[in-house]
Amino acid sequence: MLTIKLLREDKERVIQKLKIKNFDAETIINKIIEIDEAKRTVQNKLEQSLSELNNISKQVGILFKDGKVEEANKAKEKTVELKNETKDLNSELNKLDSDLNNLIVQLPNLPNELVPIGKGAEDNEIIKTGGKIPELLESNSLPHWDLAKKYDIIDFELGNKITGAGFPVYKGKGAKLQRALISYFLDRAIENGYDEVMPPLLVNEASGFGTGQLPDKEGQMYHAGIDNFYLIPTAEVPVTNIFRDEIVQAEDFPIKKTAYTPCFRREAGSYGKDVRGLNRLHQFDKVEIVHISHPEVSYKALDEMVNHVENLVKELELPYRILRLCGGDMSFTSALTYDFEVFSAAQKKWLEVSSVSNFEEFQANRLKLRFKEKGDKKTKLAHTLNGSALALPRIVAALLENNQTPDGIKIPKILVPYTGFEYIN
């Protein structure tokens, strides 16, 4: 969430910036400022009363100690009124505080100045295209769901039986390919300085709030009701929350973590479109990279992450393009996002396989993730970033479709040491 300080000091700029995200913030912000002022007045009064009360209590203590019982009892009487006053002020403060919070969490993050204006996916800016789109022979242009069946490597019907739509069963070389991709992605991340972690796949409410999934996107996560846990939609949630309520030292930057996890998404409201095969699943595997960065260099970190992801798609020999998301297509929490898409040759479609974002201090403010500069007394909010490196299903879709040959599906060179086979046939 945005800091109240920013809203106090730079309200007009915030309103202008949020227009790029197609968000009209004026009414909310005016209301916020109004409540904030009221809150500070009440807080002031409350603290004065508390101060007085603390003083009297101290006096009473001393008087009793000196045996001046009568004076002590007299002093006690004075507290009755004050106590009532603090009680009222306190409940007033709590009310204002929660009103303020409810409003401020509704404001999305400010977009970076590079973010193009636009309404939706069609307005995203293609900033780079790479790789070569393969020309498929007519006899070899099956979509991946047919290939999956032909080679018996992914069984969608079986997943239907066990769980439901969107929970495929990977079999034989299909399963091995998953494992190979996960190992390859993790190894590359570790080579680039990321520490591997294996976090819980269920998180509590506070974690969901910290990274911005709650309260808004509640319906997108699976919920284990009895214990009030949420199944993670991405490793971003547990990994970033490692640092919730932490104060790190500036010299510890950059903090880089990577994690493989399954991801669970309800995908409510997205039925019917682009959901065939591996294109959209309820459970999928992903390797995530997370950066906790000094604010001054967070955009350098973002570039570094984009490079890292680009390397992966290059090594996998997939045709790809990099998009800079426009204001209308960006997530609530992001300040700048690059999406990676690979071309899946039989479907003749670009598929999103990675999203790399800088959240600046938006998540950090929710997480209370701060850092301290050497010699400084005050703490500042860190910047958080994350990106998929990479999400598996659509990579697999493109690999299957693009690499189909009369001899079977050719595994890219980089993966062969991991799969132990060169062809799926």
Partner RNA sequence: GGAGAAAUGGCAGAGUGGUCGAAUGCGGCGGUCUUGAAAACCGUUAGGUGUAACAGCCUCGGGGGUUCGAAUCCCUCUUUCUCCGCCA
In terms of phi and psi (left: phi > 0; alpha: psi -120 to 50; beta: otherwise), the region of 366 is alpha
Q: Which structure tokens are listed for 276? A: 């065939």
Find the shortest distance in angstroms from Cβ 328 to RNA.
Answer: 33
Find the shortest distance in angstroms from Cβ 277 to RNA.
Answer: 33
* β-pairing verdict for 255-264 and 195-197: parallel
Looking at beta carbons only, is 83 or 119 nearer to RNA?
A: 83
Rounded CA gap, 217 and 353, in Å?
21
Find the shortest distance in angstroms from Cβ 424 to RNA.
Answer: 31
Looking at beta carbons only, is 217 or 372 nearer to RNA?
A: 372
Find the shortest distance in angstroms from Cβ 83 to RNA.
Answer: 6
Q: Which structure tokens are listed for 93? A: 């403060």
Find the shortest distance in angstroms from Cβ 65 to RNA.
Answer: 6
Looking at beta carbons only, is 22 or 59 nearer to RNA?
A: 59
Q: Decide: helix, strand or coil at residue 279.
A: coil
Q: Decide: helix, strand or coil at residue 228.
A: coil
Find the shortest distance in angstroms from Cβ 92 to RNA.
Answer: 14
Looking at beta carbons only, is 103 or 202 nearer to RNA?
A: 202
| Inter-residue contact 259 to 197 (CB < 8 Å) | yes
**In what helix (H) or strand (E) does residue 126 lie, and over which residues does it extend?**
strand 125-130
Looking at beta carbons only, is 59 or 192 nearer to RNA?
A: 59
Find the shortest distance in angstroms from Cβ 47 to RNA.
Answer: 4
Phi, psi angles (nearest 5°) of residue 321 = -145, 155
Q: Which residue has the tokens 């929970």?
A: 167
Residues 6+ away with beta carbon under 8 Å from 270 = 280
Phi, psi angles (nearest 5°) of residue 145 = -70, -30
Looking at beta carbons only, is 24 or 245 nearer to RNA?
A: 245
Q: How far is CA 86 from the centre of its chain?
A: 40
Q: Decide: helix, strand or coil at residue 350.
A: strand
Residues in the site for RNA, rule: CB under 7 A? Answer: 5, 47-48, 50-51, 53-58, 60-62, 64-65, 76, 79, 83, 247, 370, 372, 377-379
Looking at beta carbons only, is 60 or 326 nearer to RNA?
A: 60
Phi, psi angles (nearest 5°) of residue 80 = -55, -50
